[in-house]
Structure 1
Amino acid sequence: KAAALYNDIHVLFVKQSERQKDIEKVWGGKDGLTEQIIYLPKKKGFLGKLPNYKEWEAHYKAQVGQIVESYQPQLIHVHIPWKVGLIALWAKRKFNLPFVVTEHWGIYNNIVEDNIHTKSFFFRYLLKLICKKADSFISVSRYLGNGVNQTLLKKEFVVIPNVVDTKLFFPTPKKYDQFTFLHVSNMVPLKNVESILLAFHQFLQNKSKDARLILIGNRDDQYERLVAGWNILNKSIFFKGEIAYADVAREMQSSHVFVLNSNIENSPCVIGEALCCGLPVIATSVGGISELVDNSNGLLIHPNSTPELESALIKAFDTYHAMQRKQPTSSARIKFSPNTIGSQIAAVYDQVLRKQP
């Protein structure tokens, strides 16, 4: 949507699922944005991998060919180069279309289990070829771009952070009556949710019982059982599960402080969204987070340190009004806005097209 503010954009996405019985095509979009999604059945097991890839590839190539014939696009923009970057390589050879890559994937480190070093030679060769042949490379953080350079290939990159829907995420004066810490994530182990729960439990015992913690995202029974054992489930700690995007915005607007305790991140959307809502952010100084959070808008802590997180909760609770007064909300709303991000993407497109013969 941000890119479509400055250029006509046709989004094409082909997705396979074992639950999909028949081929399904969905169209949507408006105001310069066309969205086309194709859902394909997926064969099960190892023997289905090659036929699945061939079918996925055939549908992508057929649709790209139709788009080229009907709309004469000037370039292709690939989000996450593996594996749709292979289609961009093919289109570059067949139609002489330049392509831009934006990388979001957090595999270029030694921290995540499924990192680049665990991938096969064939995978790394093709991923390197895609990135090498890209006419421009965008990273959502300096950390991620540097990681690509350190683990895959040397490639100049432009940093463009993730966009925030500033029509949804904006500050409001109305807050919960009770001081509220908020966490939003998919609750996977790398988010280190258990440490948030432990730190907040200690906060309640050592500082104040007049506060609460709301967690939004994939519900995990182990976390609820842990909190139930402390007899504070739905009293001081609340799990709301997965909720609508607009409801996430309302929770951010109503809360006081946002907490993210991840072991690794690139450029988490939730931090940009929290900052646009005027929330001070407590976050771990890992990955690209320090590019978003500093002492003007939050508190940075070391990862895997429950005592340090508890201290940060106490400091945010004690100095909330001072933190809120110096919160540069307006600059965040400019930095992450669709207009700003869209104009930065458009500048990359223009630069690529100027270099074409």
Structure 2
Amino acid sequence: MKILYINGFVPNKNAPMAGIFVTKRIQALRKKNITICPYIYGVRYSKPVQQYLSKIRHSEVQAEPVKKQQDVEYCVRMEKMGFLEMATAGFFPGYYERKLARLVQKDIRKEKDIDIVHLHWLWPMGAGVMRSCCKAGIPYVITCHGSDINVTMENPRIRKEMIRILERAASVEFISKALLSKAKSLGYSGKNAVVIYNGIDGDIFGNGVLKEERKSIVIFAGNLIQIKGADRLPEIFQRVYSEYGQAVEFWVIGDGMLRKELERRMKDLPVVFTGQITQGQIAQEFNSASVLVLPSRNEGYPCVIKEAQACGVIPVGCDVGGISEAVGEYGTVVRGAEKGLLQELADVIVDYLKQKRQTDRKKMVEKAREDTWEHMQEYSIENYRKILGERKRIGNRSSI
């Protein structure tokens, strides 16, 4: 089985770990002897366009894509986008998608004998994949991760096309039941859907002896952006500090546009900002911490929950997206209006720190350590085989 595998998250020098969960899937599939051809497609803006976007839209300067993530080397294909191309795309809908389709078609021919094209992240790359695969007669699979459905698909101008891409796929993988439900509420039938959860790297997270003694450390790990609820951290941390006292520490792992504001707002609290660190370093921090907080406004299925649980850290999060599915029986999810929500998150965290609220850490760790990438990708392989089996049966019937 040979798969052209597309990482739609485009890891770059500013965000080298972007889409790491796609790379983890590739590593797991290769361990199962599946031939994977890893690709990244995207847009490289010209310098004048970057300067324009920086001034008008306050966008960050575009960073160079990363060709290698851990031991997976990607073939990077970036389409040039200058003012002329932007104007053309504005006048001719589908211009950019057709250019992407031609790139994919070329790579399908180059790699030879591709059985399936698998894309992670629906839009806009999905339009190019759909066109190229329909022309080449190759089935395609799309994995939807969160904001591609929760945010992008809410746009009525492109929703119809996004639904068409999903419906024409051989299969659509959703990383949570909640995400599938959201897609259905927007008009997708779900007839070709499967739910396959994210996994964890068992060599990094939870491969040691569980530490029973825990420091009073509360961790946030993720991008410092609004959709992840990073702007809610100062109020939550202040409430925890006021209720629990000076023994508590807060660790903020990750980076993003809100970092400077958060550093300013929490300068009087015992907060450590680590910036972007490796997964191995994250695991080290988890091994001593007590609670992971997820104040997100929306989520697909956060890998960080299972990673934390595998290291003995109890997750406390908002009941949005796939958070409750990831937490399961081991942790707490809360819901409610903004003020009451943040107070309840803080109260639950304090209860865990004071051991007024408890969970069976040993069972939590055992359960989380079962959900490795290798284990979860067995479901993807089963899905691939089903697609190719059905395709073969249809081919046999048409030849009679």
Indicate how the Cα distance of structure 1 residues 14 and 53 shifts in structure 2: closer, same or farther if over 3 A, else same: farther
Corresponding residue of 1:243: 277
Verify the 8 A CA contact 2:100 2:128 in the aligned structure 1: no
Q: Of residues 301, 317, 333 in structure 2, which corresponds to 1:300?
A: 333
Give the alignment of 1:85-234 within 5 angstroms.
85-106=126-147, 108-109=149-150, 114-120=151-157, 123-156=158-191, 157-170=193-206, 172=208, 173=210, 178-218=215-255, 220-228=259-267, 231-232=268-269
Amino acid at match of 2:139: P
Verify the 8 A CA contact 1:92 1:98 in the aligned structure 2: yes
Deviations 1:80-109 (A, max 9, x none): 222222233223332211111111132545
Amino acid at match of 1:11: P
TM-fit CA distance, 1:144: 0.6
- Measured in 1, the distance between the counterparts of 2:238 and 2:74 equals 45
Give the alignment of 1:1-80 within 5 angstroms.
1=26, 2-6=28-32, 7-18=34-45, 35-44=74-83, 46-47=86-87, 49=89, 57-58=98-99, 61-62=102-103, 64-80=105-121
TM-fit CA distance, 1:245: 3.2
- Measured in 2, the distance between the counterparts of 1:105 and 1:299 equals 21
TM-fit CA distance, 1:220: 1.8
Deviations 1:311-349 (A, max 9, x none): 1111110228942535421221222x1211221110000
- Measured in 1, the distance between the counterparts of 2:225 and 2:111 equals 43
Give the alignment of 1:300-319 within 5 angstroms.
300-303=333-336, 304=338, 305-319=341-355
Instruction: Indicate the percent of aligned positions where both proteins have the same amino acid.
Output: 21
Amino acid at match of 1:17: R
* Structure 1 segments unaligned to the other structure (5+ residues): none
Verify the 8 A CA contact 1:100 1:135 in the aligned structure 2: yes
Give the alignment of 1:235-274 within 5 angstroms.
236-274=270-308
Corresponding residue of 2:61: none
Deviations 1:129-187 (A, max 9, x none): 11111111110000111111110321232111123222122254469974111001212
Verify the 8 A CA contact 1:16 1:56 in the aligned structure 2: no
Verify the 8 A CA contact 2:319 2:335 in the aligned structure 1: yes
- Measured in 2, the distance between the counterparts of 1:29 and 1:215 equals 23
2:220 partner SS: strand
TM-fit CA distance, 1:256: 1.9
- Measured in 1, the distance between the counterparts of 2:228 and 2:65 equals 35
Give the alignment of 1:323-338 within 5 angstroms.
323-335=359-371, 337-338=372-373
- Measured in 1, the distance between the counterparts of 2:195 and 2:349 equals 31
TM-fit CA distance, 1:14: 1.5
Verify the 8 A CA contact 2:200 2:303 in the aligned structure 1: yes
Indicate how the Cα distance of structure 1 residues 320 and 87 shifts in structure 2: closer, same or farther if over 3 A, else same: farther
Indicate how the Cα distance of structure 1 residues 93 and 354 shifts in structure 2: closer, same or farther if over 3 A, else same: same
Indicate how the Cα distance of structure 1 residues 27 and 197 shifts in structure 2: closer, same or farther if over 3 A, else same: closer
- Measured in 2, the distance between the counterparts of 1:53 and 1:310 equals 47
- Measured in 2, the distance between the counterparts of 1:269 and 1:325 equals 18
User: What is the RMSD of the two structures over their aligned residues, measured on CA atoms?
Assistant: 3.1
2:204 partner SS: coil
- Measured in 1, the distance between the counterparts of 2:172 and 2:304 equals 23
* Structure 2 segments unaligned to the other structure (5+ residues): 1-25, 49-63, 396-400
Verify the 8 A CA contact 2:46 2:82 in the aligned structure 1: no
- Measured in 2, the distance between the counterparts of 1:258 and 1:25 equals 30
State the TM-score, normalizing by the size of structure 2: 0.76
- Measured in 2, the distance between the counterparts of 1:349 and 1:320 equals 47
Q: Of residues 98, 108, 123 in structure 2, which corresponds to 1:82?
A: 123
- Measured in 1, the distance between the counterparts of 2:104 and 2:148 equals 29
Amino acid at match of 1:73: I
Greater RCO (Cα-Cα under 8 Å, separation 6 or more): 1
- Measured in 2, the distance between the counterparts of 1:163 and 1:48 equals 41
Verify the 8 A CA contact 1:171 1:253 in the aligned structure 2: no
- Measured in 1, the distance between the counterparts of 2:46 and 2:205 equals 34
Q: What is the number of equivalent residue pairs in this alignment?
A: 341
